[in-house]
Amino acid sequence: MLGYAEVLVDVANRRLDQSYHYLIPESLDLKLGMRVLVTLQNRKVQGLVVNVTNDLPDELTFVKLKPVLECVDQEILIPPHLIQLAHWLAQTTICSVAQSLHTVWPLLNGKVEEWVILLASLSDSDVQTLQWLDSDAFRAIKVLSRARSKGISLKTFLKRADISGATIEKLIQHGWAKKEARFVSIGEGSVKKGLRGGRALDNPQNLEYEVKEQKISTVRTYDLTVEQAITVKSVMTALAEGTPHTILLHGVTGSGKTDVYREVITQILAQGGDAILLVPEISLTSQVARYFETQFGEQVIVLHSGLRPREKIKAWEDILAGLKRIVIGARSAVFAPLLNLRLIILDEEHDGAYKQDENPKYHARDVARQRMEQLKGVVLLGSATPSLEAYAAAQSGKIRLLTMTRRIGESVLPPVEIVDMREELIRGNRSIFSLLLQRKLQERLERGEQTMLFLNRRGYSTFVVCRECGYVVICPNCDIALTYHTQGQAMRCHYCNHKELPPLSCPKCGSRYIRFFGQGTQRVEEELQGLLPEVSVLRLDFDTTRSGEAHHTILESFRRQEASILVGTQMMAKGLDFPNVTLVGVIAADQTLNMPDFRARERTFQLLTQVAGRAGRSTKPGEVIIQTYSPTDGAIVRASQHDFQRFFWEEIGYRKERKYPPYTHIIRVLLLHEKEDRVINGANDLGACLQQGMQDPKFGNNELDILGPAPAVLTRLKNQWRWQISVKGRRLDLLRAFLHQGVQSFYKGPASSGVMLNIEVDPLSS
């Protein structure tokens, strides 16, 4: 029997975030992947067995090791390849392994609690005498006797029995009760039912599970176009090679990418494989799932972070039992433990929702590629507007590229017309609706057709724009729009901290019509009601979709043509298909174009192209109107032409010149504290530590740039002040090492006290 267990302790403290060696008692049969209780710094904590061995590292040869206290699970819980995934996730996102494990295997949730266990009986003579001698002690024993398994957590016991700690000590001294540490887990043990004999082999494909045989429907209710058939064949050929592949599917809006996903999954299931289909928004999961359930029935399951704990546990039980073979979900579904996973699809792969905001700050695309690297499967990235990083990788040959250039059926891409809102101002039109858009709206109403009006309200920061010439105040160092801060009444760059006062007149044309720009969907809805008072209008944004079914209810109402106009944010830019929508209007393209972010032009092109794709998806032709103060900007012009290729080559040249991703990597450190002066001092001290690190030859000679310190875009959030520092360089391994060294030095100084650090690799937003 092996004598030592290497245990990864489940603590979020980075100083303790490592594995420790413990003795294995003869009474315990430990295996890789089990949860155990161990002692760490005089407290009992949960740990995960990551290795069992008879050989200790040399430095532990003469160290007296503590024993493993007990097993939390008698069966193996986490397959080895998912433990490896958690280690990879912690390393690449620069977070604790404990945090990564809880993300990879969310059913680890639980904690060690102190319990009180009854040893006596109410019928014992000495206990009976307590009724008259010590009513508190007798009441405590009565409470314990009614508890399940004659035990109860100390916290709950004190509350129910209404006794003091001294009374508990008396019970223990007389041998009527005892204390012990127990691990309490949400839904603990239920997932193990899917395992037979509790055995997991090194090869995850050989896990032994009770798998219920299910019939797979191969009946196709759709016909594939030539382009779709070629795409399906290419994906299946890659799967047959038995080596990991990443494939980018660039298909225009309406080209039938979903039918490609459906056909590929049909063939994979027929071969005994399983698949994950990711969508960017939770609100899209039920809509997509219904489409797949028509063919695959109960083999489909939906996973996302909005599920209640018991729902998630039941879902994982069904997956581990082999009852579910297609997982459809948002970002977190990428970790689904399917038994024979062969394919992971990211629909709308360009969407920023695939990046996790909390630690570990992973991108679902990176996790998918790592999982398929382990399992020798395929990652399929689908989008009408691929991310520049993905398309650049395809152009360089790092991943494969497949294209679909035509819409299915008789529909064609709609013509797009750009409206210069500066000219509207000259004409005396101060409405947010151009005269052309007003006329087009009226035409649709007369023909009984529907309209979608888009406004991206994510512009929480206000930029400064001239309404006569379109001039936007830009940072001279970063070529990024400056953000106006009411505190201090100054404009600042959130990359290098350049600061200047807002101009009273336009520096370019001298106009006094230079204003802070910003609009919201509610204002659009109100002005629309004033313009067309008899028209039924629906609004789709965060405020109107707070309840669980609100999103579906609004869309179904619009689909039934109970409203003529739908006003919304980027929620309606993807995945929606309404045959009667023939007009799409973009109220203000500038709101995304001038965000303080080097990806602003890319996001603008993507959003405009995606929302334009909602028009004319059936036999009725569509039109798109884009309103802007920057009608000649490349992102807007290329979106109006549906020309991704030319936009890509123009934007990639800009990225290369400015040394932005994909030509470099960025790691951002966000510093947080409730007091502004503390976070500013901390940011300056961390900046000094990083500058000192540049003196090291291994870092100083590798073109590393330090940006900041500077206030974050959201300078104060949830009563915490936020500043940031970014480091930029070509080699990610060097960046990680450089930042680690600087952070270690920072923590040695007094300015770090109480300041939280939030580290993110290649952030998608500023």
- pLDDT of 61 higher than 80: no
The candidate with the shortest Cα–Cα distance to 420, out of 437, 442, 443, 439, is 437
The candidate with the shortest Cα–Cα distance to 742, out of 698, 687, 697, is 687
Number of domains in the chain: 6
The whole-number pLDDT of residue 185 equals 55
- pLDDT of 485 higher than 70: no
C-alpha–C-alpha distance, residues 520 and 405, integer Å: 34
**Who has greater pLDDT, 421 or 179?**
421
Same domain, 677 and 749: yes
Query: Are the beta carbons of 62 and 20 closer than 8 angstroms?
Result: no
pLDDT tens digit string along 553-577? 888 898 999 999 999 887 777 667 7
C-alpha–C-alpha distance, residues 285 and 353, integer Å: 13
C-alpha–C-alpha distance, residues 36 and 8, integer Å: 10
CA-based torsion, 284, 288, 290, 291: positive or negative = positive
Same domain, 380 and 247: yes
Domain membership flag for residue 267? yes
The whole-number pLDDT of residue 459 equals 32
For the chain, how big is the Rg over CA atoms in Å? 30
Query: Are the beta carbons of 20 and 38 closer than 8 angstroms?
Result: yes
**pLDDT band at 479; cut points 50, 70, 90:** low
CATH number at residue 728: 3.30.70.600
Same domain, 545 and 474: no
**Who has greater pLDDT, 34 or 275?**
275
Give the domain-ending residue among 634, 656, 678. Answer: 656
CA distances from 61 to 21, 55, 65, 741 (A): 11, 9, 10, 30
Average pLDDT over residues 618-644: 92
Same domain, 512 and 524: no
Tell me 573's DSSP state.
Answer: S
- pLDDT of 518 higher than 60: no
Mean of the per-residue pLDDT values for the chain? 83
What DSSP string describes 69-133? -EES-SS--S-HHHHHHHHHHHHHHT--HHHHHHHHSGGG-EEEEEEEEE-S-TTSHHHHTHHHH
Same domain, 451 and 600: yes
Give the least confident one: 201-205, 471-475, 579-583. 201-205
- pLDDT of 233 higher than 50: yes
Angle subtended at Cα 499 by Cα 498 and Cα 503, rounded to the nearest 5 degrees: 130
C-alpha–C-alpha distance, residues 216 and 340, integer Å: 15
**Who has greater pLDDT, 1 or 2?**
2
Same domain, 455 and 480: no
Average pLDDT over residues 164-169: 80
CATH number at residue 202: 3.40.1440.60
Domain membership flag for residue 362? yes
pLDDT tens digit string along 649-673? 999 999 998 888 898 999 999 999 9
Residue numbers of the domain that contains 194: 4-109+189-206
**pLDDT band at 487; cut points 50, 70, 90:** low
Query: Per the structure block, which two tokens stand in for 550?
Result: 């609100």
Domain membership flag for residue 44? yes
Same domain, 261 and 351: yes
**pLDDT band at 283; cut points 50, 70, 90:** confident
Domain membership flag for residue 67? yes
Average pLDDT over residues 70-86: 78
- pLDDT of 724 higher than 90: yes
Within 8 A by CB and 6+ apart from 294, the residues are 221
If one counts every other C-beta atom within 10 angstroms of the C-beta of residue 419, the result is 20
Give the domain-ending residue among 627, 656, 685. Answer: 656
Domain membership flag for residue 218? no
Average pLDDT over residues 259-271: 94
Same domain, 329 and 476: no
In three-state secondary structure terms, 297 is: helix
Backbone torsions φ then ψ of 649, nearest 5 degrees: -70, -30
**pLDDT band at 193; cut points 50, 70, 90:** very low
- pLDDT of 720 higher than 60: yes
- pLDDT of 29 higher than 60: yes
CATH number at residue 260: 3.40.50.300
pTM above threshold 0.85: no
Give the domain-ending residue among 152, 185, 218. Answer: 185
Cross-strand partners of 499: 492
Query: Are the beta carbons of 22 and 65 closer than 8 angstroms?
Result: yes
- pLDDT of 410 higher than 70: yes
Same domain, 160 and 200: no
What DSSP string describes 143-205? HHHHSGGGEEEHHHHHHHHT--HHHHHHHHHTTSEEEEEEEEETTTTGGGGGBSTT---SSGG
What DSSP string describes 197-264? TT---SSGGG--B-----------SS---HHHHHHHHHHHHHHHTTS-EEEEEEE-TTS-HHHHHHHH
The whole-number pLDDT of residue 369 equals 96
- pLDDT of 261 higher than 90: yes
pLDDT tens digit string along 741-765? 898 889 888 998 889 888 898 888 7
Same domain, 529 and 591: yes
Q: Best-predicted range by mean pLDDT among 436-440, 458-462, 480-484?
A: 436-440
Give the least confident one: 173-177, 428-432, 709-713. 173-177
Same domain, 433 and 535: yes
Domain membership flag for residue 409? no
- pLDDT of 350 higher than 90: yes
Same domain, 82 and 141: no
The whole-number pLDDT of residue 189 equals 43
Domain membership flag for residue 212? no
Alpha carbon distance, N-terminus to C-terminus of the chain: 54
CA distances from 270 to 127, 218, 229, 239, 494 (A): 67, 8, 17, 13, 52
Query: Are the beta carbons of 551 and 540 closer than 8 angstroms?
Result: yes
Cross-strand partners of 276: 327, 344
Backbone torsions φ then ψ of 452, nearest 5 degrees: -120, 130
CATH number at residue 175: 3.30.1390
Domain membership flag for residue 671? yes
- pLDDT of 203 higher than 50: no
